[in-house]
């Protein structure tokens, strides 16, 4: 193994095998990833901070453990990135906002603590839009994060920095979180696998605000198997999160196999009464046909649920209003104009309208519970469109949040169900398309095994580095 580009795209399991054999060292791998970061991130703008010293220090410790044949976990010495809306000891948590403190925090969030204990090597913290409010990644704090498949396109959001870096081979696993699609949308736009687990599966702290029961932490990866490895570590318990599920059994994700034969799959290309672009639908239906050939039963089930906006718009506005109330009014002028507009609209949402949204979540769950009486899993597009231009104004007439952003992803945050986005092809223009696989609560194993089957039908592809570097040299 001599080519740095090849090393940067190795899976976690491949890195572990090379560490165990002595063919590679964690220090060597960390240095290669950091060099790549230096070379490519000026064009991508995927990092809020880079922890070069911390990464190399962690890599040296991991190298020592591998030499002693005593790794802490399958992620010992594996390069990982952390989204900059969770706490990482010794670094500030900026949340994509100029209104936040630049002071370093004193302790790790649960997911960071578990990854650190596993021996992961943190390269740094990745960009997010202000308070992770939208499905694109740009902010006054950091500017635009760009898509490595086409630098004039958005990487998606709100885990946009995580996805952009990972797609171009910076890091092996990326941490993200998802309250409306923020793992799955950037995974779709950047040609990656992204898993939003069941709510409460991955502990989080601090937990506050109206969206606390929508948000779920999880991995973005280039390979489905890497996500299973990461999730087993991320899902370990932490006493600080009172929403957290009980710790899963040690073997809950071991022995995963692609199992298409006999799988009962519902297919809803127009979930929630939203139609995807023709190119997106054609790509998904080609994948559906191949799943049928592999032995799965796939049936079109129609929209399944009603349109989300009429029921949940007030709920969304009120959540941002809560955030707005936590900021001194003299800072409001610093905020993303789109975020501030939605938040100010939410200041007038009554308790009755807010509670109506909560009641509607239960009804939404009942729709899916009824569906899963007859099907194992549900297939939908991840997004109606491929990645839009990077400068797109979110929740505007040209890119509406409900129609163009979270139409297919938000339902599973409202119900707490696990859902993943897996690559299923690219358009003629070379932009990735994602297929969403969702299941009942606690069905991460079934979702992962279905995604392994889909991955076997369509092995992952990555952005052509030559074109990325050509665009970078022009810039």
Q: Which of 11, 25, 83, 154 is catalytic?
A: 83
Q: Which residues have CB under 8 Å from 436's CB, separation 6+?
A: 184, 188, 379, 380, 381, 382, 408, 409, 419, 420, 421
Is the separation of the CB atoms in 189 and 383 below 8 Å? yes
The answer to whether residue 4 scores a pLDDT higher than 90 is no
The answer to whether residue 199 scores a pLDDT higher than 60 is yes
What is the DSSP-derived secondary structure letter of residue 54? H
How far apart, in Å, are the Cα atoms of 123 and each of 55, 147, 166, 390? 6, 19, 11, 25
At the top level of CATH, the class of 4-309+352-474 is alpha beta
pLDDT, mean over the chain: 96
The answer to whether residue 232 scores a pLDDT higher than 90 is yes
The answer to whether residue 361 scores a pLDDT higher than 90 is yes
pLDDT digits (tens, 9 = 90+) for 72-82: 999 999 999 99
Q: Which of 182, 188, 421, 443 is catalytic?
A: 182
Above pLDDT 70, what percent of the chain? 97
The answer to whether residue 195 scores a pLDDT higher than 70 is yes
Instruction: Specify the pairing of strand 193-196 against strand 79-83.
Output: unpaired
DSSP, collapsed to helix, strand or coil, labels residue 61 as helix
pLDDT digits (tens, 9 = 90+) for 369-417: 999 999 999 999 999 999 999 999 999 999 999 999 999 999 999 999 9
Q: What is the pLDDT of residue 459?
A: 85
pLDDT digits (tens, 9 = 90+) for 421-452: 999 999 999 999 999 999 999 999 999 999 99
Q: What is the pLDDT of residue 303?
A: 98
Q: What is the pLDDT of residue 2?
A: 53
pLDDT digits (tens, 9 = 90+) for 41-58: 999 999 999 999 999 999
Q: Which of 158, 188, 421, 443 is catalytic?
A: 158
Read off the pLDDT of each residue in 323-329 and give the average, rounded to a whole number. Answer: 96
DSSP, collapsed to helix, strand or coil, labels residue 179 as coil
Would you state the structure tokens that stand for residue 325, as one six-digit string?
Answer: 């109330």
Examine the residue annotation and report whether 473 is marked as an active-site residue of this protein. no
The answer to whether residue 468 scores a pLDDT higher than 70 is no
Q: What is the pLDDT of residue 469?
A: 66
| Of residues 265, 268, 269, the one with CA closest to residue 295 | 265
Read off the pLDDT of each residue in 12-40 and give the average, rounded to a whole number. Answer: 98
pTM metric for this prediction: 0.97
Q: What is the pLDDT of residue 461?
A: 84
Examine the residue annotation and report whether 182 is marked as an active-site residue of this protein. yes
Would you state the structure tokens that stand for residue 472, as one six-digit string?
Answer: 């970078």
How far apart, in Å, are the Cα atoms of 239 and each of 203, 236, 466? 9, 10, 47
Q: Which residues have CB under 8 Å from 239's CB, separation 6+?
A: none
Read off the pLDDT of each residue in 212-232 and give the average, rounded to a whole number. Answer: 98
Q: What is the pLDDT of residue 1?
A: 46
pLDDT band at 466 (very low <50, low <70, confident <90, very high): low
Neighbours of 50 (CB within 10 A): 17
What is the DSSP-derived secondary structure letter of residue 321? H
Task: Work out the angle at residue 428's Cα, subtended by the Cα atoms of residues 424 and 433, and round it to the nearest 5 degrees.
Answer: 25
């Amino acid at each position: 193994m001599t080519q740095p580009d090849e090393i940067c795209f190795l899976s976690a399991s491949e890195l572990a095998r090379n560490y165990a054999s002595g063919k590679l060292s964690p220090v060597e791998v960390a240095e290669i990833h950091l060099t790549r970061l230096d070379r490519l991130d000026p064009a991508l703008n995927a990092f809020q901070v880079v922890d070069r010293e911390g990464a190399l220090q962690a890599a040296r410790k991991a190298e020592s453990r591998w030499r002693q044949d005593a790794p802490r976990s399958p992620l010992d010495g594996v390069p990982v990135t952390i989204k900059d809306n969770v706490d990482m000891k010794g670094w500030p948590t900026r949340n994509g906002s100029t209104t936040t403190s630049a002071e370093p925090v004193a302790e790790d969030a649960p997911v960071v603590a578990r990854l650190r204990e596993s021996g992961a090597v943190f390269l740094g913290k990745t960009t997010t839009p202000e308070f992770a409010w939208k499905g694109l990644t740009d902010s006054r704090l950091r500017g635009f994060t760009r898509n490595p498949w086409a630098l004039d396109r958005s990487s998606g959001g709100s885990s946009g920095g995580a996805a952009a870096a990972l797609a171009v081979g910076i890091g092996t696993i990326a941490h993200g979180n998802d309250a409306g699609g923020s793992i799955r949308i950037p995974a779709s736009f950047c040609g990656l696998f992204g898993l939003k687990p069941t709510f409460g599966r991955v502990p989080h702290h601090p937990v506050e605000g109206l969206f606390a029961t929508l948000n779920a932490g999880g991995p973005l990866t280039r390979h489905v198997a890497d996500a299973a490895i990461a999730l087993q570590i991320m899902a370990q318990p932490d006493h600080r999160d009172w929403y957290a599920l009980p710790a899963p059994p040690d073997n809950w994700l071991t022995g995963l196999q692609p199992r298409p034969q006999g799988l009962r799959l519902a297919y809803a290309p127009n979930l929630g009464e939203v139609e995807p672009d023709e190119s997106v639908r054609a790509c998904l239906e080609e994948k559906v046909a191949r799943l049928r050939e592999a032995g799965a039963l796939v049936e079109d089930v129609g929209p399944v649920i009603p349109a989300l906006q009429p029921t949940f718009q007030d709920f969304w506005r009120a959540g941002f209003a809560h955030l707005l109330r936590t900021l001194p009014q003299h800072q409001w002028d610093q905020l993303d104009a789109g975020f501030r507009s939605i938040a100010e609209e939410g200041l007038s949402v009554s308790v009755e309208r807010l509670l109506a949204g909560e009641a509607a979540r239960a009804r939404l769950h009942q729709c899916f519970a009824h569906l899963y009486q007859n099907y194992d899993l549900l297939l939908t597009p991840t997004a109606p469109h491929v990645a839009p231009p990077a400068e797109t104004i979110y929740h505007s007439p040209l890119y509406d949040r409900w129609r163009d952003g979270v139409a297919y992803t938000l339902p599973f945050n409202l119900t707490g169900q696990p859902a993943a986005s897996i690559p299923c092809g690219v358009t003629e223009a070379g932009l990735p398309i994602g297929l969403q696989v969702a299941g009942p609560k606690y069905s991460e194993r079934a979702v992962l095994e279905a995604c392994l089957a889909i991955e076997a039908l369509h092995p992952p592809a990555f952005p052509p580095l030559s074109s990325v570097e050509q665009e970078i040299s022009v810039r």
